[in-house]
Amino acid sequence: MSTHEGMNWYVVRAISGQEAKTKHYIETEITRMGMTDLLGQILIPTEKVYQVRNGKKVLKERNFFPGYIMVEGILTGEFVHTIKNIPGVIGFLGETKGGEPTPLRLSEVNRMLGKVDELAESSDMVAIPFVIGESVKVIDGPFRDFVGLVEKIHEDKRKLEVMVKIFGRRTPLELSFMQVEKEN
């Protein structure tokens, strides 16, 4: 997920629930106006969530910033004007009155895209908070609320191998330190 040369990321506010339609409109309109060289990527920040439907686990994408679309581009007056006039667009986030929208800082972009470097969170290499054989509870991801035993610790990757019982069968899961907590 890299930023194109000379482009910045901006957040466009859209009518909640119409993000995908608005994204499509933006792409179509920018192409129609012949401004594709000003546009990089358009992303709707989503997370994958499991929902149980009729007893089956279904993977669904859910917007975790409803009403926001991330647009990468080179800001020109015309570009801003075009995007603002697209159906479903409310405006840019962080624009000053009559001024230019403020670009996101790279750290904000990475956070919104959920790829915060796990190591950055622990640059001081915290002591490993887990020991082999201890019971941990999964607090994040599809196996949330499952409890298992730590089998292996991969310090370098800050990951654990946890043996969990899923449907009565022992199954090893590789989880990051951030996805589990000690069982009390």
Choosing from 53, 86, 112, the residue where a domain stops is 112
Residues 22 and 94 in one domain: yes
Residues 106 and 129 in one domain: no
pLDDT at residue 136 in the model: 92
Calculate mean pLDDT across residues 117-135: 63
Residues 93 and 132 in one domain: no
Alpha-carbon gap, residue 16 to 39, rounded angstroms: 22
From 68, 74, 60, select the one nearest 20 (Cα to Cα).
Answer: 68
Alpha-carbon gap, residue 92 to 70, rounded angstroms: 10
Residues 134 and 157 in one domain: yes
Alpha-carbon gap, residue 183 to 172, rounded angstroms: 18
* Pairing label, strands 159-166, 169-176: antiparallel
Q: Which of 118 and 83 is assigned the larger pLDDT? A: 83
From 122, 162, 144, select the one nearest 47 (Cα to Cα).
Answer: 144
Residues 85 and 150 in one domain: no
pLDDT class of 127 with cuts at 50, 70, 90? low
Tokens of 77: 């007056």
Question: Is residue 100 included in any domain, yes or no?
Answer: yes
Question: Is residue 96 included in any domain, yes or no?
Answer: yes
Calculate mean pLDDT across residues 42-53: 79
DSSP code, position 48 = E
Instruction: Work out the mean pLDDT of the chain and round it to a whole number.
Output: 82
Indicate yes or no: pTM above 0.75. no
Question: Is residue 103 included in any domain, yes or no?
Answer: yes
Residues 33 and 66 in one domain: yes
Q: Which of 63 and 17 is assigned the larger pLDDT? A: 17
Question: Is residue 3 included in any domain, yes or no?
Answer: no
Which residue bears the tokens 């570009």? 79
Residues 150 and 79 in one domain: no
Per the structure, how many domains does the chain have?
2
What residues make up the domain containing 61?
8-112
Strands (E), the chain: 8-14, 39-43, 46-53, 56-63, 68-73, 89-92, 135-138, 147-154, 159-166, 169-176, 180-182
Question: Is residue 2 included in any domain, yes or no?
Answer: no
Q: Which of 177 and 25 is assigned the larger pLDDT? A: 25
Q: How many CA atoms lie within 13 A of 159 on its CB side?
A: 6
DSSP code, position 177 = G
Residues 108 and 17 in one domain: yes
Residues 136 and 108 in one domain: no
Alpha-carbon gap, residue 152 to 130, rounded angstroms: 10
Choosing from 88, 112, 136, the residue where a domain stops is 112
DSSP code, position 141 = S
